[in-house]
Amino acid sequence: MRNSSDWYQPLAKNLAKAWPIEYADVKPALLCQVELGLRLLERLDPSASASGVYTLLGGYPFAAAAGIAATADEQVMLNAARHLLWKLRRRRTWLQSLETYNLLPERLRGYRIAAEDGPARRVEPTIAGDRYALFDQALSALPDFDRRALPLAGAGPSRFVERRRPAAVTIPQELCLEPALGHDLTAVPSTAGIPLDVPLEELADTAQWMDQVERDLDLRPGSWAKRLGDLRLDTLSPDGRSFQAATVLRLDRLLHMVGMVGAGKSTIMTLIAVWGARRGLRSTLIVGDVAEQLALTSLFRYLGLTAVPILGGTTRERHAARLHRRLAARGHDSLLAHNDSGFDDLSTVCVVDALRGMEATEPLRYEFPPFRRSGGYLLPVGAGVRLSGSVWVCQAVSYSSGLR
């Protein structure tokens, strides 16, 4: 995740000194973020409407199509703004923020918007007049990765708040692990940017191998070789005017794959992930729901591959309940028979819950485990574990959040 807040802290502090009390519900950070978006528009297209800044922040190539991000420096500005202002990429959010910005006193604002749908005009504010240099500096390069470390709990008693009540847990020394070494966020994979050719013949070998493993483990057959044999792969001709049968699928940056329901799109996706993992390549699969995440993760692990599902914490209990209902619908009425491997990834159990005193009358809710507290985190368990995998399985929301 990129750091999207440090850049405006000096400006926000200067503005806070003169911030009127009647606008206490509006944070100086909002002014900083809106004006950074307006500065981006001023640099790229000064005559464009201020209400359209959000179109530059969502990742779609509108700027390139309009010819306003033609140079390398302009593309850097655009990329930096997308990281710094990703919360404003939605039309409604940007327009609401812009409306709030226009209500602030003029002595605080660095831009004037004369018409409702007109361009922004820069002025010299009486407070923090050097803000434009700060905006240009923020847009000159991608923000650094957020490397703030979480404070770790030591051995002994630790206090936290649970259901608005004080609580405590005593952590033994053997649960205090050394922090794990993080991933090198600046390392560029050797395959980055290089087109990858995937021969269908090699995918056929992969499919046969998957079928054999499933037979050996007495798993439900996926019939991967048959499914691959039933599909037909056509790629766009060099002149872009027709499709032609292909024996090699080239992955080169963005590739759209289309087909009717059941044509084999998901089959190709799964086979390519397994094909790549067996060759030391890593891949990320983006699927539609948590049920598919768990099913694919389970499949990859049965095949002996390292797979990691990216699951959020706020909806974990809901997805665990849905998995129980799916198993009950299949005839597993007793909860003791619900032994799906997906529960390992959806677990809401806090392992240090049992270390609480006798005053604990019920288990902690997942939202309030003893390793989370106001102002910091207690991480006695798992602090020495670093996740790594050949295949990462996520949904669109978790994938986009990870990119930030």
**Are 105 and 20 contacting, i.e. CB atoms less than 8 angstroms apart?**
yes
Instruction: Using DSSP bridges, classify how beta strands 391-395 and 196-199 pair: parallel, antiparallel or unpaired.
Output: unpaired
pLDDT digits (tens, 9 = 90+) for 156-198: 877 777 777 777 777 888 877 777 777 777 777 777 778 999 9
Q: With the C-alpha atoms ordered 103, 39, 5, 81, is the resulting torsion angle positive or negative?
A: positive
pLDDT score, position 400: 61
pLDDT digits (tens, 9 = 90+) for 21-69: 999 999 999 999 999 999 999 999 999 999 999 999 988 888 988 888 8
pLDDT digits (tens, 9 = 90+) for 68-107: 888 999 999 999 999 999 999 999 999 999 999 999 999 9
Residue with tokens 């048959």: 226
Segment (H or E) for 250: strand 248-251
Rounded-to-integer distance, Cα 134 and Cα 218, Å: 62
Q: Which of 134, 127, 133, 86 is nearest to 104 (CA)?
A: 127
Residue 2 per-residue DSSP state: B
Rounded-to-integer distance, Cα 190 and Cα 197, Å: 15
Return the structure tokens found at 64: 């390139």
Residue with tokens 């053997």: 174
pLDDT score, position 375: 39
pLDDT score, position 120: 94
Strand boundaries in 319-388, DSSP class E: 372-373, 376-377
The pTM (predicted TM-score) of the whole model is: 0.72
DSSP-assigned states of every residue in 169-234:
EEE-GGG-PPPPPPP-TTPPPTTTT--EEEEHHHHHHHHHHHHHHHHHTTPPP--HHHHHHH---E
Burial 342-356 (b: 16+ CB within 10 A, else e): bbebbebebebeebb
**Are 54 and 94 contacting, i.e. CB atoms less than 8 angstroms apart?**
yes
Residue 149, C-beta contacts closer than 8 angstroms, at least 6 positions apart: 179
Instruction: Using DSSP bridges, classify how beta strands 196-199 and 165-171 pair: parallel, antiparallel or unpaired.
Output: unpaired
Rounded-to-integer distance, Cα 340 and Cα 202, Å: 32
Rounded-to-integer distance, Cα 325 and Cα 338, Å: 10
Q: With the C-alpha atoms ordered 240, 246, 252, 257, is the resulting torsion angle positive or negative?
A: positive
**Are 55 and 94 contacting, i.e. CB atoms less than 8 angstroms apart?**
no
pLDDT digits (tens, 9 = 90+) for 208-258: 999 999 999 999 999 999 999 999 999 998 888 999 999 999 998 888 889
Lowest mean pLDDT segment, chosen from 226-235, 260-269, 313-322, 378-387: 378-387
pLDDT score, position 374: 39
347 has a pLDDT exceeding 70:
yes
